[in-house]
């Protein structure tokens, strides 16, 4: 029998739409927290996308309808706040304040409440649209993505929203663990700037501006995608031992040190490309895996999911990717996504 989740007993309220905030609280629900979505009468906007989309971000939660613009809605909010440990809000700053969803506005009802504001640019910033692709463009992420001689590009999934959701969940738990109520401010902008880490450090400390390298790593060579006889191979050579094993298998001479490979990046990439052209990506992966060389054939999403059946769960008539956290002795009980207002009459 599974033990209670590590967050059993934690009561979290959520106000928000679509992705970043709901993703954060779903991760908490997967770990045993009781999460209640406080939805406007029309519901979270993601309900309008599709049932499967909504389920992918909201399984295992409860739903209570609240019109926060009315005295009745505010009264119900304050009732729920009294019994909550945390409130996570994913709205623009003016709405967060207008609806009284900050710690200062709610501390009268619960001094120990942790309030997390997840916004595009920060709780004290203006109401500038803070959507995923906009933030990726504004923080330099898009400029680093794509071919060197091509336009900037965006990744094929919502990296800013998902990353900010993880950061918001961490910030919420950190303040809960402190035992103090208070305000936590998480923005998509700050999260994406933080994830630039070594790129930002190179510029701030050495004046080295990051370049768009077509997905190649800025420091490790070769570390990028390569075409093969069939399909593409991701190769990630981070030290000389990996290179020796790969070069011996691929029949490449020279470039023994990372310094040499970095200085001769173009020559190394050309040599690796030529060597990999003699076999398929799948075969190269099979050849390099026993050698401990980091490499993988590029898979489609359907192919990746087919190879990871243990990551897929079923709940509420939907097949979804389960929690990324594997906790010893605990197996999440994945509840279905809530119907709009399903828990209106509950505390």
- What is the architecture, at CATH level 2, of domain 11-195+311-321? 3-Layer(aba) Sandwich (3.40)
- Distance from C-alpha of 194 to C-alpha of 209, rounded to nearest angstrom: 16
Give the contacts of 257 (CB within 8 A, at least 6 positions apart).
Answer: 240
Domain ranges of the chain: 11-195+311-321, 223-227+232-297
At 226, list the tokens.
């390569």
What is the crossing angle of helices 159-178 and 20-30, to 10°?
50
Q: Which residues pair with 39 in a beta bridge?
A: 65
pTM (two decimals): 0.93
**pLDDT tens, position by position, 216-258:** 999 999 999 999 999 999 999 999 999 999 999 999 999 999 9
pLDDT of 2 reads 64
At 146, list the tokens.
């794509």
Which helix H or strand E contains 101, and what residues bound it?
A: none
Burial class (CB in 10 A: 0-12, 13-18, 19+), 54: buried
Q: Active site residue: 161, 190, 266, 310, which one? A: 161
Where are the strands (E) in 174-252, listed by range? 182-187, 223-227, 232-236
Query: By the 8 A CB rule, do 168 and 88 touch?
Result: yes
User: Has 127 been annotated as catalytic?
Assistant: no
Closest alpha carbon to 168 in 144, 190, 146, 135:
190
**pLDDT tens, position by position, 162-184:** 999 999 999 999 999 999 999 99
């Amino acid at each position: 029998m599974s033990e209670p989740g590590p967050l059993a007993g934690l009561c979290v309220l959520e106000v928000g739409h679509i992705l970043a905030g709901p993703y954060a609280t779903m991760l908490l629900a997967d770990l045993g927290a009781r999460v209640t979505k406080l939805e406007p009468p029309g519901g979270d906007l993601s309900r309008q996308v599709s049932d499967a989309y909504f389920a992918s971000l909201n399984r295992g939660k409860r739903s209570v309808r609240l019109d926060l613009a009315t005295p009745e809605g505010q009264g119900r909010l304050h009732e729920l706040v009294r019994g909550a440990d945390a409130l996570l809000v994913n709205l623009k700053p003016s709405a967060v304040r207008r609806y009284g969803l900050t710690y200062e506005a709610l501390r009268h009802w619960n001094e120990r409440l942790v309030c997390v504001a997840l916004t595009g640019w920060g709780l004290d910033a203006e109401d500038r649209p803070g959507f995923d692709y906009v933030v990726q463009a504004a923080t330099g992420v898009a400029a680093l993505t794509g071919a060197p001689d091509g336009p900037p590009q965006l990744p094929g999934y919502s990296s800013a929203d998902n990353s900010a959701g993880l950061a918001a969940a961490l910030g919420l738990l950190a303040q809960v663990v402190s035992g103090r109520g208070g305000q936590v401010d998480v923005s998509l902008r700050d999260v994406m700037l933080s994830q630039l880490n070594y790129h930002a450090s190179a510029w701030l400390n050495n004046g080295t501006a990051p370049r768009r390298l077509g997905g190649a790593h800025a420091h490790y060579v070769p570390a990028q995608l390569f075409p093969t006889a069939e399909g593409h191979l991701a190769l990630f050579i981070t030290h000389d031992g990996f290179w020796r094993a790969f070069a011996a298998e691929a029949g490449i001479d020279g470039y023994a040190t990372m310094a040499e490979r970095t200085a001769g990046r173009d020559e190394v990439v050309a040599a690796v490309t030529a060597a990999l052209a003699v076999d398929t990506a799948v075969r190269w992966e099979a050849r390099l895996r026993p050698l401990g060389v980091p490499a993988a054939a590029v898979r489609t999403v359907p192919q990746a999911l087919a190879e990871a059946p243990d990551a897929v769960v079923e709940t509420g008539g939907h097949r979804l990717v389960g929690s990324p956290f594997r906790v010893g002795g605990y197996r999440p009980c994945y509840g279905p996504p809530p119907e709009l207002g399903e828990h209106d009459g509950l505390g």
